[in-house]
Protein backbone atom coordinates (compact mmCIF):
# COMPACT_ATOMS: atom_id res chain seq x y z
CA UNK A 1 0.00 0.00 0.00
CA UNK A 2 1.35 3.45 -0.89
CA UNK A 3 1.45 5.92 1.99
CA UNK A 4 -0.45 9.16 1.43
CA UNK A 5 1.80 10.92 3.92
CA UNK A 6 4.55 12.65 1.89
CA UNK A 7 6.83 12.61 4.96
CA UNK A 8 6.06 9.32 6.72
CA UNK A 9 7.71 9.23 10.11
CA UNK A 10 8.52 5.53 9.95
CA UNK A 11 11.95 4.90 8.49
CA UNK A 12 11.75 1.91 6.16
CA UNK A 13 14.59 -0.49 6.91
CA UNK A 14 15.73 -4.05 6.45
CA UNK A 15 18.07 -5.57 3.92
CA UNK A 16 15.17 -6.93 1.88
CA UNK A 17 13.16 -3.68 1.83
CA UNK A 18 13.03 -1.10 -0.99
CA UNK A 19 14.74 1.29 1.45
CA UNK A 20 18.05 -0.25 0.40
CA UNK A 21 17.72 1.31 -3.06
CA UNK A 22 16.40 4.55 -1.50
CA UNK A 23 19.41 4.65 0.79
CA UNK A 24 21.95 4.14 -2.00
CA UNK A 25 20.36 6.95 -4.00
CA UNK A 26 20.15 9.17 -0.93
CA UNK A 27 23.78 8.52 0.07
CA UNK A 28 25.03 9.67 -3.32
CA UNK A 29 22.84 12.79 -3.24
CA UNK A 30 23.85 13.60 0.36
CA UNK A 31 27.46 14.18 -0.63
CA UNK A 32 26.50 16.22 -3.70
CA UNK A 33 25.52 19.86 -3.80
CA UNK A 34 21.99 19.64 -5.20
CA UNK A 35 19.00 19.97 -2.83
CA UNK A 36 17.87 16.58 -1.55
CA UNK A 37 14.52 15.41 -2.88
CA UNK A 38 11.84 15.21 -0.14
CA UNK A 39 11.75 11.77 1.48
CA UNK A 40 11.83 10.17 4.91
CA UNK A 41 15.60 9.92 4.72
CA UNK A 42 15.88 13.58 3.71
CA UNK A 43 13.68 14.65 6.65
CA UNK A 44 15.95 12.88 9.14
CA UNK A 45 19.41 13.36 7.65
CA UNK A 46 19.29 16.67 5.71
CA UNK A 47 20.16 18.68 8.89
CA UNK A 48 23.43 16.72 9.06
CA UNK A 49 24.66 18.14 5.77
CA UNK A 50 27.54 20.57 6.30
CA UNK A 51 26.81 24.28 6.12
CA UNK A 52 29.86 24.81 3.89
CA UNK A 53 32.90 22.89 2.63
CA UNK A 54 35.14 23.84 5.54
CA UNK A 55 32.58 23.70 8.35
CA UNK A 56 32.40 20.96 10.97
CA UNK A 57 29.39 18.73 11.63
CA UNK A 58 29.43 16.98 15.00
CA UNK A 59 26.67 14.59 16.04
CA UNK A 60 26.33 12.32 19.06
CA UNK A 61 24.23 9.17 19.15
CA UNK A 62 22.86 7.36 22.18
CA UNK A 63 20.63 4.31 22.41
CA UNK A 64 18.78 4.32 25.71
CA UNK A 65 15.94 2.71 27.62
CA UNK A 66 12.72 4.47 28.68
CA UNK A 67 14.36 5.12 32.04
CA UNK A 68 17.44 6.71 30.51
CA UNK A 69 19.97 3.85 30.77
CA UNK A 70 22.61 2.99 28.18
CA UNK A 71 24.00 -0.15 29.81
CA UNK A 72 23.48 -2.51 32.73
CA UNK A 73 25.49 -2.11 35.94
CA UNK A 74 28.04 -4.51 34.43
CA UNK A 75 28.35 -2.32 31.32
CA UNK A 76 26.41 -4.58 28.93
CA UNK A 77 24.55 -2.62 26.24
CA UNK A 78 24.07 -5.11 23.39
CA UNK A 79 21.44 -4.55 22.34
CA UNK A 80 19.17 -1.89 23.75
CA UNK A 81 17.84 -0.81 20.36
CA UNK A 82 16.01 -2.97 17.84
CA UNK A 83 17.12 -3.64 14.27
CA UNK A 84 15.73 -0.33 12.96
CA UNK A 85 17.71 1.59 15.57
CA UNK A 86 20.88 -0.31 14.67
CA UNK A 87 20.36 0.41 10.97
CA UNK A 88 19.97 4.08 11.84
CA UNK A 89 23.32 3.99 13.66
CA UNK A 90 25.02 2.37 10.66
CA UNK A 91 23.49 5.04 8.39
CA UNK A 92 24.96 7.71 10.65
CA UNK A 93 28.37 6.02 10.43
CA UNK A 94 28.13 6.03 6.63
CA UNK A 95 27.50 9.80 6.63
CA UNK A 96 30.56 10.83 8.66
CA UNK A 97 34.33 10.96 8.22
CA UNK A 98 35.03 9.56 11.67
CA UNK A 99 33.39 7.87 14.62
CA UNK A 100 34.67 8.66 18.13
CA UNK A 101 34.34 6.50 21.26
CA UNK A 102 35.70 6.76 24.79
CA UNK A 103 38.12 4.09 25.89
CA UNK A 104 35.60 2.47 28.27
CA UNK A 105 33.33 1.70 25.34
CA UNK A 106 36.26 0.40 23.29
CA UNK A 107 37.25 -1.92 26.18
CA UNK A 108 33.78 -3.02 27.34
CA UNK A 109 32.04 -3.48 23.98
CA UNK A 110 35.11 -4.18 21.82
CA UNK A 111 33.15 -2.76 18.86
CA UNK A 112 34.11 -2.87 15.18
CA UNK A 113 32.57 0.57 14.46
CA UNK A 114 32.26 -0.31 10.75
CA UNK A 115 29.32 0.16 8.37
CA UNK A 116 27.79 -3.29 7.91
CA UNK A 117 23.98 -3.04 7.93
CA UNK A 118 23.73 -0.57 5.03
CA UNK A 119 25.83 0.33 2.03
CA UNK A 120 28.42 3.02 2.62
CA UNK A 121 32.04 3.56 3.53
CA UNK A 122 33.27 2.81 7.03
CA UNK A 123 34.48 6.01 8.72
CA UNK A 124 37.79 6.51 10.49
CA UNK A 125 37.80 5.13 14.04
CA UNK A 126 38.96 7.34 16.88
CA UNK A 127 39.38 6.33 20.53
CA UNK A 128 39.84 8.92 23.30
CA UNK A 129 42.21 7.17 25.67
CA UNK A 130 44.30 9.69 27.64
CA UNK A 131 46.14 7.01 29.61
CA UNK A 132 46.76 4.68 26.66
CA UNK A 133 44.80 1.79 28.20
CA UNK A 134 43.40 0.17 25.06
CA UNK A 135 45.01 -3.16 24.10
CA UNK A 136 46.69 -3.49 20.71
CA UNK A 137 44.38 -6.39 19.79
CA UNK A 138 41.17 -4.34 20.25
CA UNK A 139 38.82 -4.78 17.29
CA UNK A 140 38.80 -1.04 16.56
CA UNK A 141 42.47 -1.40 15.65
CA UNK A 142 41.90 -4.19 13.12
CA UNK A 143 44.01 -3.70 9.99
CA UNK A 144 41.36 -3.09 7.33
CA UNK A 145 42.84 -0.02 5.64
CA UNK A 146 40.42 2.34 7.45
CA UNK A 147 42.05 5.29 9.22
CA UNK A 148 42.46 4.79 12.97
CA UNK A 149 43.46 7.43 15.51
CA UNK A 150 44.44 6.88 19.15
CA UNK A 151 43.90 10.12 21.07
CA UNK A 152 46.08 10.14 24.15
CA UNK A 153 47.43 12.67 26.65
CA UNK A 154 50.69 14.21 25.48
CA UNK A 155 52.19 13.10 28.81
CA UNK A 156 51.46 9.44 28.03
CA UNK A 157 53.97 7.59 25.85
CA UNK A 158 52.24 4.91 23.75
CA UNK A 159 53.38 2.43 21.15
CA UNK A 160 50.72 2.58 18.43
CA UNK A 161 49.70 -0.70 16.74
CA UNK A 162 50.17 -0.99 12.95
CA UNK A 163 48.05 1.45 10.87
CA UNK A 164 47.14 3.45 14.02
CA UNK A 165 48.01 7.15 14.21
CA UNK A 166 48.64 8.66 17.64
CA UNK A 167 47.24 12.12 18.30
CA UNK A 168 48.73 13.36 21.58
CA UNK A 169 46.89 16.31 23.14
CA UNK A 170 47.29 18.37 26.31
CA UNK A 171 45.04 17.79 29.32
CA UNK A 172 43.09 20.66 30.86
CA UNK A 173 41.84 19.81 34.36
CA UNK A 174 42.56 16.18 33.53
CA UNK A 175 40.46 16.26 30.36
CA UNK A 176 41.17 16.50 26.66
CA UNK A 177 39.33 19.61 25.49
CA UNK A 178 36.69 18.42 22.95
CA UNK A 179 37.00 21.69 21.02
CA UNK A 180 40.77 21.30 20.70
CA UNK A 181 40.31 17.71 19.54
CA UNK A 182 37.78 18.75 16.87
CA UNK A 183 40.08 21.52 15.64
CA UNK A 184 42.96 19.05 15.33
CA UNK A 185 40.74 16.59 13.48
CA UNK A 186 39.64 19.32 11.08
CA UNK A 187 43.31 20.08 10.36
CA UNK A 188 43.85 16.46 9.28
CA UNK A 189 40.81 16.36 7.00
CA UNK A 190 38.10 15.07 9.35
CA UNK A 191 35.13 17.43 9.50
CA UNK A 192 32.06 15.20 9.92
CA UNK A 193 32.24 13.47 13.29
CA UNK A 194 29.96 10.98 15.07
CA UNK A 195 30.43 10.71 18.86
CA UNK A 196 29.14 7.21 19.53
CA UNK A 197 29.55 6.91 23.29
CA UNK A 198 29.67 6.20 26.03
CA UNK A 199 27.96 8.49 28.48
CA UNK A 200 31.11 10.20 29.75
CA UNK A 201 32.37 10.97 26.26
CA UNK A 202 29.05 12.27 24.90
CA UNK A 203 28.49 14.28 28.08
CA UNK A 204 31.94 15.86 27.72
CA UNK A 205 31.12 17.05 24.20
CA UNK A 206 27.67 18.25 25.27
CA UNK A 207 29.04 20.16 28.27
CA UNK A 208 31.73 21.78 26.10
CA UNK A 209 29.01 22.84 23.62
CA UNK A 210 30.76 20.83 20.93
CA UNK A 211 27.71 19.11 19.42
CA UNK A 212 25.53 20.26 16.54
CA UNK A 213 23.14 17.33 16.78
CA UNK A 214 22.14 14.59 19.19
CA UNK A 215 20.27 11.51 18.00
CA UNK A 216 18.74 9.80 21.00
CA UNK A 217 17.08 6.48 20.20
CA UNK A 218 14.70 5.39 22.95
CA UNK A 219 13.79 1.72 23.22
CA UNK A 220 10.64 0.54 25.06
CA UNK A 221 12.66 -1.09 27.83
CA UNK A 222 12.85 -0.34 31.54
CA UNK A 223 16.11 -1.40 33.16
CA UNK A 224 15.51 0.02 36.61
CA UNK A 225 19.24 0.12 37.27
CA UNK A 226 22.38 0.59 35.21
CA UNK A 227 24.37 3.41 33.66
CA UNK A 228 22.68 6.72 32.87
CA UNK A 229 22.82 8.26 29.39
CA UNK A 230 24.47 11.47 30.60
CA UNK A 231 26.86 12.36 33.38
CA UNK A 232 26.75 16.11 33.87
CA UNK A 233 27.29 18.41 36.86
CA UNK A 234 24.20 18.67 39.09
CA UNK A 235 21.75 21.52 38.50
CA UNK A 236 19.39 23.07 41.01
CA UNK A 237 16.75 24.58 38.74
CA UNK A 238 14.98 23.33 35.63
CA UNK A 239 15.95 26.47 33.70
CA UNK A 240 19.56 25.26 33.93
CA UNK A 241 18.71 22.05 32.03
CA UNK A 242 19.59 21.79 28.34
CA UNK A 243 16.36 22.08 26.36
CA UNK A 244 16.59 20.82 22.82
CA UNK A 245 14.82 21.66 19.63
CA UNK A 246 13.78 18.24 18.39
CA UNK A 247 11.90 16.22 15.80
CA UNK A 248 10.75 12.66 16.46
CA UNK A 249 10.73 9.67 14.15
CA UNK A 250 9.57 6.12 14.62
CA UNK A 251 12.25 3.45 14.14
CA UNK A 252 10.36 0.17 14.44
CA UNK A 253 9.59 -0.12 18.17
CA UNK A 254 12.10 2.60 19.03
CA UNK A 255 11.65 6.37 18.82
CA UNK A 256 14.35 8.67 17.53
CA UNK A 257 14.65 12.12 19.07
CA UNK A 258 16.65 14.12 16.52
CA UNK A 259 17.85 17.09 18.58
CA UNK A 260 19.31 20.17 16.97
CA UNK A 261 21.92 21.92 19.12
CA UNK A 262 23.37 24.15 16.41
CA UNK A 263 22.33 27.43 17.98
CA UNK A 264 24.26 26.64 21.20
CA UNK A 265 27.31 25.07 19.57
CA UNK A 266 30.73 26.69 19.89
CA UNK A 267 32.06 24.67 16.95
CA UNK A 268 31.89 26.22 13.49
Ligand X SMILES: NC(=O)c1ccc[n+]([C@@H]2O[C@H](COP(=O)([O-])OP(=O)(O)OC[C@H]3O[C@@H](n4cnc5c(N)ncnc54)[C@H](OP(=O)(O)O)[C@@H]3O)[C@@H](O)[C@H]2O)c1
> Given the rule CB under 6 A, which residues bind ligand X?
62-63, 70-71, 75, 77, 80, 101-105, 108-109, 128, 130-131, 133, 175-176, 178, 196-201, 204, 227
Q: Which is nearer to ligand X, 127 or 261 (CB)?
A: 127
Residue 109 CB, shortest distance to ligand X, in Å, is 5
Residue 240 CB, shortest distance to ligand X, in Å, is 22
What lies within 8 Å, CB to CB, of 42 at 6+ separation is: 26, 36
Phi, psi (degrees; rounded to nearest 5) at 38: -60, 130
Q: Which is nearer to ligand X, 105 or 191 (CB)?
A: 105
Q: For the chain, how many residues are written?
A: 268
Q: Which is nearer to ligand X, 51 or 157 (CB)?
A: 157
Q: Are strands 124-128 and 98-102 parallel, antiparallel or unpaired?
A: parallel
CB atoms within 10 A of CB 134: 23
Q: Which is nearer to ligand X, 131 or 139 (CB)?
A: 131
Q: Which is nearer to ligand X, 175 or 260 (CB)?
A: 175
Residue 61 CB, shortest distance to ligand X, in Å, is 7
Q: What is the rounded distance in angstroms from the CA atom of residue 103 to the CA atom of residue 99?
A: 13
Residue 226 CB, shortest distance to ligand X, in Å, is 9
Residue 238 CB, shortest distance to ligand X, in Å, is 24
Q: Which is nearer to ligand X, 120 or 204 (CB)?
A: 204
Residue, CB closest to ligand X = 198
Q: Which is nearer to ligand X, 97 or 129 (CB)?
A: 129
Residue 155 CB, shortest distance to ligand X, in Å, is 12
Give Cα separations from 142 to 40, 50, 111, 252 (angstroms): 34, 29, 11, 32
Residue 241 CB, shortest distance to ligand X, in Å, is 20
Q: What is the rounded distance in angstroms from the CA atom of residue 105 to the CA atom of residue 214?
A: 18
Q: Are strands 175-176 and 171-172 parallel, antiparallel or unpaired?
A: antiparallel
Amino acid sequence: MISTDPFPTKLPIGTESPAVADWDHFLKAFFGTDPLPPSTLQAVFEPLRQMSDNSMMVIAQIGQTLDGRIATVTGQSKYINGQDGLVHLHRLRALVDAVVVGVETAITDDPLLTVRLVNGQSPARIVIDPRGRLASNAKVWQQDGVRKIWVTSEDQAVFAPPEVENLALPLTDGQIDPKNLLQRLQQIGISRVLIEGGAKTVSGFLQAKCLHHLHLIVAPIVMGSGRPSFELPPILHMDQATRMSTSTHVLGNDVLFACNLRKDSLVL
